[in-house]
């Protein structure tokens, strides 16, 4: 009788209740997942609330523009913000042309070829390399090889062969290349081939098709990748530690460039710099008075989170616009 009842329940799709609770196994599983989800959400809001509450109490014009003081126990994060922005700008000036150019080549010239598979595999391998390994590569390749070589040829002493903002930006550019290549390639491949063939039928060359048809339609997706790359780059710590990041500086490293008899101030790419993530690490581990430096830690965390979240929101906005214009679900 029991076997018949069990077979009947299976045949009718009835759920066997858990003894002592009156709950089905599916319902118990759903309740467990929901509990875990709300627990994680609660922890997230507790951490975010603590950072926002403690960090907002510290943030002020003086904190955002001032320099560290009293052995990192007081002062502001102005040089760290300036150094982070400078590295990010130089990084994307290096990475964006290389990444977008590689994506255009793969999409428009090397599609379904042997080199397409090779480059895609290489991009995947590059994306899996730990940042600390890239930092050591930056020291070996950019400083000891290229930098020392330029100093030897140009007889500039140690101008190029030392850790500096330029080499940190170049190393981070390699780190974010896979993001730019992958997102740009997805955007380019989402452009309908009908538009390409129509433009070619009207007499346009391949270069004109890329410039006037493909890139305008894929523009939002490409910008999305660039914004995500900036967000990834400014969140790194290990590579810049090896490549000239200082624990404390009184100001942003600057130089003067003479153009047409005018002295133009600029950030010195061959000098040391400060970086927000490294500054946060320094506040936590190297401060003379960790308790006094605790408010600055929360303030630095909040600024870094706001920058990163803002960049990701912009990326989502551009991605949404891209999908709406092209009608793509990718």
Q: What is the pLDDT of residue 255?
A: 78
Q: What is the pLDDT of residue 2?
A: 47
Q: What is the pLDDT of residue 161?
A: 87
Cα→Cα distances 207→95, 105, 180, 185, 198, Å = 22, 11, 21, 17, 14
Q: What is the pLDDT of residue 156?
A: 83
Residue boundaries of the structural domains of the chain: 81-252+309-326
Class of domain 81-252+309-326: mainly alpha
CA 44 to chain centroid: 21
Which residue positions in the chain have pLDDT lower than 50? 1-2, 7-9, 13-14, 18, 20, 329-330
| Cβ atoms of residues 165 and 278 within 8 Å | no
Q: What is the pLDDT of residue 3?
A: 54
Q: What is the pLDDT of residue 85?
A: 92
CA–CA distance, 95 with 179 (Å, rounded to integer): 10
Q: What is the pLDDT of residue 102?
A: 92
Q: What is the pLDDT of residue 168?
A: 94
Q: What is the pLDDT of residue 322?
A: 66
Of the CA atoms within 13 Å of residue 301, those in its CB half-sphere come to 20
pTM of the model: 0.84
């Amino acid at each position: 009788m029991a076997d018949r009842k069990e077979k009947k329940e299976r045949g009718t799709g009835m759920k066997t209740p858990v003894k002592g609770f009156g709950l089905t196994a599916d319902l118990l599983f759903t309740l467990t997942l929901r509990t875990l989800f709300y627990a994680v959400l609660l922890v997230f809001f507790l951490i975010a609330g603590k950072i926002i509450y403690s960090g907002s109490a510290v943030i002020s014009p003086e904190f955002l523009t001032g320099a560290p003081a009293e052995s990192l126990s007081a002062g502001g994060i102005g040089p760290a913000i300036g150094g982070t922005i400078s590295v990010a700008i130089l990084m994307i000036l290096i990475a964006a042309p290389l990444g977008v150019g590689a994506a255009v080549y793969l999409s428009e010239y090397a599609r379904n070829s042997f080199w397409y598979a090779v480059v895609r595999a290489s991009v995947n391998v590059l994306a899996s390399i730990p940042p600390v390994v890239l930092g050591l590569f930056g020291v070996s390749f950019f400083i000891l090889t290229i930098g020392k070589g330029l100093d030897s040829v140009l007889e500039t002493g140690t101008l190029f062969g030392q850790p500096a903002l330029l080499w940190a930006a170049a190393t981070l550019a390699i780190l974010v290349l896979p993001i730019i290549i992958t997102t740009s390639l997805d955007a380019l491949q989402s452009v309908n081939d009908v538009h390409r063939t129509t433009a070619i039928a009207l007499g346009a060359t391949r270069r004109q098709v890329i410039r006037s048809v493909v890139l305008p339609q894929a523009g939002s997706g490409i910008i999305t990748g660039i914004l995500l790359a900036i967000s990834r780059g400014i969140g790194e710590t290990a590579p810049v530690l090896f490549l000239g990041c200082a624990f404390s500086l009184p100001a942003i490293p600057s130089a003067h460039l003479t153009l047409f008899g005018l002295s133009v101030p600029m950030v010195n790419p061959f000098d040391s710099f400060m970086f927000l993530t490294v500054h946060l690490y320094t506040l936590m581990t190297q401060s003379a008075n960790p308790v006094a430096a605790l408010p600055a830690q929360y303030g630095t965390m909040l600024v870094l989170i706001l920058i990163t979240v803002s960049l990701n929101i912009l990326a989502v906005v551009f991605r949404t616009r891209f999908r709406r214009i092209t009608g793509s679900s990718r």
